[in-house]
Amino acid sequence: MSRILTGIQATGTPHLGNILGALLPGIELANQANNEAFFFIANLHSLTAIKDPEVISNNTYSVAAAWLAFGLDTNKNTFYRQSDLPEVCELMWHLNCFTPFPMLANAHSFKDKSETLADVNAGLFTYPVLMAADILLYDSDYVPVGKDQRQHLEMARDMATAFNHQYGDLLVVPEGKYDERVMIVPGTDGRKMSKSYNNFINIFLDEKPLKKQVMSIITDSLALEDPKDPDTCNVFGLYKLVAEANEVSEMRKKYQVGGFGYGHAKKALLEVLIDSYKTPRDEFNRWMNDKGALDEQLALGAEKARKVGTAALGRVRNALGY
């Protein structure tokens, strides 16, 4: 059995890009018989950027609801809120004392924002140490993350190795698992779909607002009767990721022949989004309307996580001679 662990930032309701690029692949990993997944919502990390408690709390719930709506199995796996386990902050302190200053000064997450040092809080600076504590507290074997997190992963490995060098093999040195499939979901403007570009599609919305997002997809100005190139069209780019293979090849032909307008394509895309995500949409809304049930799920996850976390922290405390 391998333990896979990953943290999910609490940045808002997951959009179609997050769902296809991270959430569904994560659930696929968690479902594998020889894996046990620890997935958590990294709301402590969010505090480096978001200070509004309501925003952090809402984001946490909507991320949790999305993972549950797509069927993450919380019996087999452990799904929790980072802040429910303050043990991680203690381990972070111990790791801090094994982290050379230049290592952190070299982190992209800090360097990207270090132009005005007065705007950098210590939380942002030590972000990779908290991330290492997230990983090392739970004896994680594999950490599936995007390539942008590779440097943080390497730092976690360095901290574990330095610690083990001093005290013996107490911490599991984790391995990064970088998805090689480059699935980049395009947004409504053709750039990578991202919250920060405001070009996303939120499949959990009701028909009316969802339609508004689909209708906002940018197309060229070819007339209805003109033949069109599906491969340069933002509508088709999304349609091919969510429709069945036969529907995709049918639409491809319609584009090439002409007499098929972007309005038609958008209508077809909207229909697929409404139909194929009906169950997760209903489930998402059910969870969001019952925050108590969400809290309960996350509390159960925290309890399971705590068993593993306190054991690892116990070994560490013991070694440190407190």
Which active-site residues does the annotation give?
A: 113, 192, 195
134, 7 Cβ separation under 8 angstroms: yes
Q: Is 267 in the site for ligand ADP (CB under 6 A)?
A: no
Q: Spell out where the chain has E strands.
A: 2-9, 35-42, 78-81, 142-145, 175-178
For residue 81, the minimal CB distance to ligand TRP (Å) is 12
Q: Toward ligand ADP, which CB reaches closer, 24 or 248? A: 24
Q: Among candidates 81, 88, 77, 74, which has minimal Cα distance to 60?
A: 81
Residue 143 partner contact from ligand ADP, ligand TRP, none using kind-dependent CB cut-offs of 5 to 8 Å = ligand TRP
Helix (H) / strand (E) containing 37? strand 35-42
Asked if 83 interacts with ligand TRP (CB under 6 A), we say no
Q: Which of 7, 230, 301, 309 binds ligand TRP (CB under 6 A)?
A: 7
One character per residue 1-40, x = contact with ligand ADP (rule: CB under 6 A): --------x-x-----xx--xx------------------
Q: Nearest distance from residue 282's CB to ligand ADP, in Å?
A: 23
Contact between 63 and ligand TRP per CB under 6 A? no
Give the 3-state secondary structure of residue 77.
coil
Of 131, 203, 214, 312, the residue at the interface with ligand TRP (CB under 6 A) is 131
Q: Which of residues 184-203 bind ligand ADP (CB under 6 A)?
A: 184-185, 192-196
Going 75 to 78 to 81 to 87, the CA torsion angle's sign is: positive
Whose tokens are 């391998």? That residue is 2
For residue 255 the two structure tokens come to: 């584009």
Q: Is 188 an interacting residue with respect to ligand TRP (CB under 6 A)?
A: no
Distances in Å between the alpha carbon of 244 and those of 218, 232, 247?
A: 23, 20, 5
